[in-house]
Amino acid sequence: KAGVTQTPRYLIKTRGQQVTLSCSPISGHRSVSWYQQTPGQGLQFLFEYFSETQRNKGNFPGRFSGRQFSNSRSEMNVSTLELGDSALYLCASSLGQGGNTEAFFGQGTRLTVV
List contacts with another protein (CB under 8 A).
4, 6, 33, 35, 42-45, 48, 55-56, 58, 90, 92, 97-108
| Cβ neighbours around 64 below 10 Å, total | 18
Q: Provide the minimum distance between the beta carbon of 109 and another protein in the complex, in angstroms, as a whole number.
A: 10
Q: Provide the minimum distance between the beta carbon of 73 and another protein in the complex, in angstroms, as a whole number.
A: 17
| Cβ neighbours around 73 below 10 Å, total | 16
- For another protein, the closer of residues 21 and 90 by Cβ is 90
- For another protein, the closer of residues 16 and 54 by Cβ is 54
Q: Provide the minimum distance between the beta carbon of 27 and another protein in the complex, in angstroms, as a whole number.
A: 17
Torsion of CA 52, 56, 37, 111, to 10 degrees: 40
Question: Whole-angstrom Cα distance, residue 6 to residue 1?
Answer: 16
Question: Whole-angstrom Cα distance, residue 58 to residue 49?
Answer: 12
- For another protein, the closer of residues 18 and 34 by Cβ is 34
